[in-house]
Chains A and B, each alone.
Chain A
Amino acid sequence: MDSHHHTAVRLSSWRRRWRSGRVAGVPTNPGLEQWIACAPADPAVRAGSGQPIIVIAMRPKLAAVVTTYFKYSHAQHIVDRFLDGYGWNGAHHYPPMDLVSLYVDQVGPNDLSRERAARHPGMKIFPSIADALTLGTGRLAVDGVVLVGEHGNYPRNEKGQTQYPRFQFFEQIVKVYRDSGRAVPLFSDKHLSWNWEWARRMYDTAREMKFPFLAGSSLPVTWRTPSVEMPPDARVSEALCVGYGGVDSYDFHGLETIQCMVERRRGGETGCSWLQAYRGEKFWDALREGVWPRPLMDAALTRSHTLTPARPGFTHIFPSTEDLRRLVRDPVAYRYEHTGGLKCTMLLMNGLVRDFNFAAYVNGSREPWSTQMYLPMPDGRTTLADFFSPLVNHMETMFLTGRAPYPVERTLLTTGLTAAGVESLYRGQARVETPHLAIAYRAPRESTFWRT
């Protein structure tokens, strides 16, 4: 798509949603304070004549639909940033939009949503998702929806998956869309659903109803140390992530870490054909047999800022294989292949690291190419989980422009890989064929990780 066409599409979508016009100087509309000028900062929004178009848009209204809202829950991190702003580009940034309604599925003793609503009277709490989206009017009354189905007490199934009701929330949201004959952009936090069929239905529904849909982890969009990007159209022969956390939770973050890098490879993303999980003794056997390249794992570990010292009396020492066995009690690996032949490995090494580190063989080099997706994690290291800031900023972009800044297909694929990993573990670490994950898409050329 050439840039002219791109601009035209973008402008028309803006015009559809909000009023726009060619305005010189200060617009003359009355009640100006509730309008904002969004376009001048965005060089993409320019007319063919080269004249900047000043787009005067009403501040979008947003609804948030969340499972629960307590300190350091995902909903708190995300919704708070819309309410109280966040540090961005060297200033405290207040999103140019209003989060006007909130639905909270579980309100426990540690709930913060009531405090937030009291302090931000512009945000009303509604007893149902439909009410939150319609503001009680019976018709869709918001311009965007933020769905955060992470944290809260939900049952686990026999495979160990927490049955967060993302799909159910999504279904209620799109019911309002359908009933109102209008659909607005939607962000869905983390994987689309624990259940692949449901995730696929969410994706298909968004496509069918043609609403912008963004999802996923903050790992692809956070800081990197070093601040590097996979070159576009790179040849990638192997990729690996060493991370931490649990199955059906942080494995997803590790998969998103890998995917946001390898999707930039030559030919673009084509999907994955199989996955095999390794856990416990089988993990150590696989490590010994070289199922994944040890140099990539070692390179990833050199990027960690949280390597558990392998010996008492030392603060930073590279672990031997024996050290790994002693430090990591329940290691997990997902080894999987993309349809073009690229093989990737996601490692969860609890007890060894508390960060996510990526390494790959790129463009034929025998030296691993590596970085860390840096999370300023409030587990004693920081007080703010500021990796949510770029995630919220990308949501803002979508709510303002009507375009998702990166493809939801990435998260459709990582959702499927997460479910396949769980399935492989459940089936005794058997190899799982994944013909349903033949998901092809093109990554944006422009980087979307935090660099400014």
Chain B
Amino acid sequence: MLTRRTFLETAALAAAPRTRPLRIAILATVYRLHSHAQHMGDRFLVGYPYGGVWRKPNAKVVSLYVDQKPEGDLGGARAREFGFDVYPDIAAALRCGGSKLAVDAVLLIAEHGDYLRNEKGQILYPRYEFFEECVKVFQAEGRAVPLYNDKHLSYSFEKAKAMVEAARRLRFPMMAGSSLPVTWRLPAIELPLDCEIAEAVMVGEGPSDAMDFHALEGLQCMVERRRGGESGVRAVQLLTGDAVWKAGDEGRYSQDLLGAALSRSDTPLGLTVEDGRTQDLLRSGELRRLAKDPAAYLIEYRDGLKAALLMLDGAVKDFNFAARLKGGEVASTQFLLTPDPNVTYSACLMHHAWRMFETGSPPYPVERTLLTSGMLESCLTSKLQGHARLETPHLAIAYKPPRESRFARA
């Protein structure tokens, strides 16, 4: 068991000056070109740009576990080139084939690969299952190491919660989530800490439950800075189709904020694709024509804040946020998802993972992603239950946002 004493020793070791490269295990569902594992894992093999420098972290990937190896698997080639082994299971990867925990940090990247979907449309990526394997090793060894978990914690809130509790119990630093909170913003704004937010709208696009998760993280990293900090979500409702427009007409989300968010988009579709023209999608009515299958994720926070995520496939192809602060000021920005194949936003994310591995301090609380994981699951449950409004007492998740901004701006 990990005791308080061994934890403190571990912490002291981590704080000591270190010249030996930090040993990293990568646990991936697949390691193919353009998969999350390849984008992020490679950052620790070939470096990444951050702050105007191509950084080579003082790290060595020492082991890899890959759950699925379809055609195009790069894991074996990477292992040969960069001098590490691919192990048949997670415990072996964490022990590098030996009998003791032999890594200083874990990158858990369970995105992409061929996994089943449940009745809510969630892809059953084995994040919790991978994590549990790590926890078993940590517990057996009485020592735990920092862990980065890509994207949601789990499709299941109960599993996600168990992950956060395990990290707390075993006292290891953990971060999770999307790259949206850490990528560039256009404009490069941050909501002032302790601001009063009257209402917020996020606009995104892409399939559930991949891209709606990113959008919810974009929303959450902004609104968590409001006065009183985050206190959790009281209820959610997921609307689709015409009900989305009707909810807008009824003022269940702000048309002004929707317009503000859309004004940040560089990707209006329809007539812009046809002949290049600029468009006021909202006032022209084109929005409703283009977004044929819209979805509105209505979020009621416990402190009264109302937010909406609108997924507008067919109308735009980027992620934009707007909020009205008390007093009337509207703040809006685009979360810039830089182009393939560099996806430089993943460098921003891995820089924060690396900093956590180095310092033992997560850049932002994992509770953010616990909340977004739960919000998403409950929204998808709402959809399954006839788009009912669902009370979410289990989402009474309180946390304080980081004082310092973590998005890319240097």
- Smallest Cβ distance from A124 to chain B, in angstroms? 19
Q: Give per-residue flags for B264-289: 1 if the beta carbon is below 8 A from chain A beta carbons, else 0.
A: 11111100111111111011000000
How long is the Cα–Cα vector from A305 to B272 in the complex, in angstroms?
Answer: 24
Closest to B347 in A: A316
B369 at interface by CB-CB < 8 Å: no
**Are A315's CB and B341's CB within 8 A?**
yes
Closest to A116 in B: B277
Which of B77, B188, B264 makes the CB contact (< 8 A) with A451? B188
Which of A301, A316, A378, A386 makes the CB contact (< 8 A) with B341? A316
CB contact list, A59-94 vs B, under 8 A? 71-72, 76-77, 80-81, 84-88, 90-93
How long is the Cα–Cα vector from A76 to B46 in the complex, in angstroms?
Answer: 42
Q: How many residues of A contact B (CB 8 A)?
A: 55
B149 at interface by CB-CB < 8 Å: no
Given contacts A225-B336, A226-B408, contact A91 B344 (CB under 8 A): no
**Are A85's CB and B280's CB within 8 A?**
yes
Which of A112, A226, A314 makes the CB contact (< 8 A) with B275? A112
A381 at interface by CB-CB < 8 Å: yes
How long is the Cα–Cα vector from A340 to B268 in the complex, in angstroms?
Answer: 46
CB contact list, B329-349 vs A, under 8 A? 330-332, 336, 338-344, 347
Given contacts A92-B283, A316-B42, contact A302 B52 (CB under 8 A): yes
B192 at interface by CB-CB < 8 Å: no
Given contacts A316-B343, A383-B273, contact A302 B332 (CB under 8 A): no
Q: Give per-residue flags for A353-373: 1 if the beta carbon is below 8 A from chain B beta carbons, else 0.
A: 000000100000001111100
How long is the Cα–Cα vector from A309 to B336 in the complex, in angstroms?
Answer: 21
Which of A77, A90, A317, A450 makes the CB contact (< 8 A) with B331? A90
B74 at interface by CB-CB < 8 Å: yes
* Number of CB contacts from chain A to chain B under 8 A: 144
**Are A384's CB and B263's CB within 8 A?**
no
Q: Among the interface residues B43, B49, B262, which one has the most CB atoms of the partner chain A within 10 A?
A: B49
Given contacts A383-B269, A386-B266, contact A318 B46 (CB under 8 A): yes
Chain B residues near A90: list those with CB within 8 A: 260, 263-264, 322, 330-332
Q: Give per-residue flags for B162-201: 1 if the beta carbon is below 8 A from chain A beta carbons, else 0.
A: 0000000000000000000000101110000000000000
Chain B residues near A330: list those with CB within 8 A: none
Closest to A84 in B: B278
Which of A301, A302, A384 makes the CB contact (< 8 A) with B267? A384
Q: How many residues of B contact A (CB 8 A)?
A: 58
- Smallest Cβ distance from A82 to chain B, in angstroms? 10
- Smallest Cβ distance from A398 to chain B, in angstroms? 20
**Are B409's CB and A227's CB within 8 A?**
yes
- Smallest Cβ distance from A267 to chain B, in angstroms? 26
CB contact list, B178-229 vs A, under 8 A? 184, 186-188
- Smallest Cβ distance from B405 to chain A, in angstroms? 12
Q: Give per-residue flags for A381-408: 1 if the beta carbon is below 8 A from chain B beta carbons, else 0.
A: 1111010000000000000000000000
Q: Give per-residue flags for B19-46: 1 if the beta carbon is below 8 A from chain A beta carbons, else 0.
A: 0000000000000011000110011001
A376 at interface by CB-CB < 8 Å: yes
Which of A227, A305, A368, A376 makes the CB contact (< 8 A) with B342? A305
- Smallest Cβ distance from A304 to chain B, in angstroms? 7
**Are B341's CB and A309's CB within 8 A?**
yes
How long is the Cα–Cα vector from A93 to B280 in the complex, in angstroms?
Answer: 9
Given contacts A91-B259, A225-B408, A309-B341, contact A384 B268 (CB under 8 A): yes
**Are B276's CB and A315's CB within 8 A?**
no
- Smallest Cβ distance from A111 to chain B, in angstroms? 11
- Smallest Cβ distance from A28 to chain B, in angstroms? 29
- Smallest Cβ distance from A204 to chain B, in angstroms? 35
Q: Give per-residue flags for B299-338: 1 if the beta carbon is below 8 A from chain A beta carbons, else 0.
A: 0000000000000000001100010000000111000101
**Are A298's CB and B342's CB within 8 A?**
no
Chain A residues near B46: list those with CB within 8 A: 314, 316-318
How long is the Cα–Cα vector from A206 to B242 in the complex, in angstroms?
Answer: 56
Given contacts A316-B48, A383-B266, contact A72 B280 (CB under 8 A): no
- Smallest Cβ distance from A241 to chain B, in angstroms? 14
How long is the Cα–Cα vector from A81 to B48 in the complex, in angstroms?
Answer: 37
Which of A92, A314, A318, A382 makes the CB contact (< 8 A) with B266? A382
How long is the Cα–Cα vector from A88 to B318 in the complex, in angstroms?
Answer: 16
How long is the Cα–Cα vector from A306 to B338 in the complex, in angstroms?
Answer: 8
Q: Give per-residue flags for B341-366: 1 if the beta carbon is below 8 A from chain A beta carbons, else 0.
A: 11110010000000000000000000
Chain A residues near B332: list those with CB within 8 A: 90
- Smallest Cβ distance from A114 to chain B, in angstroms? 12
Given contacts A81-B278, A87-B264, contact A226 B409 (CB under 8 A): yes
CB contact list, A92-150 vs B, under 8 A? 92-93, 112, 115
CB contact list, A23-70 vs B, under 8 A? none
Given contacts A226-B409, A452-B187, contact A384 B266 (CB under 8 A): yes
How long is the Cα–Cα vector from A80 to B342 in the complex, in angstroms?
Answer: 32
Given contacts A80-B276, A90-B264, A383-B269, contact A223 B52 (CB under 8 A): no
Chain A residues near B54: list those with CB within 8 A: 298, 301-302, 318
Chain B residues near A413: list those with CB within 8 A: none
Chain A residues near B16: list those with CB within 8 A: none
Chain A residues near B343: list those with CB within 8 A: 315-316
- Smallest Cβ distance from A319 to chain B, in angstroms? 10
Chain A residues near B338: list those with CB within 8 A: 305
How long is the Cα–Cα vector from A219 to B272 in the complex, in angstroms?
Answer: 22
A432 at interface by CB-CB < 8 Å: no
CB contact list, A327-377 vs B, under 8 A? 359, 367-371, 374, 376
A-B contact pairs, 12 of them (CB 8 A): A90-B264, A227-B409, A299-B52, A299-B53, A313-B33, A315-B33, A315-B34, A315-B340, A315-B342, A316-B46, A374-B184, A383-B317
Interface contacts beyond A90-B322, A226-B184: sample of 14 additional A-B pairs, CB < 8 Å, sorted by A: A84-B280, A87-B263, A92-B263, A227-B187, A303-B52, A306-B342, A313-B33, A313-B74, A359-B52, A370-B52, A381-B339, A383-B317, A450-B186, A452-B187
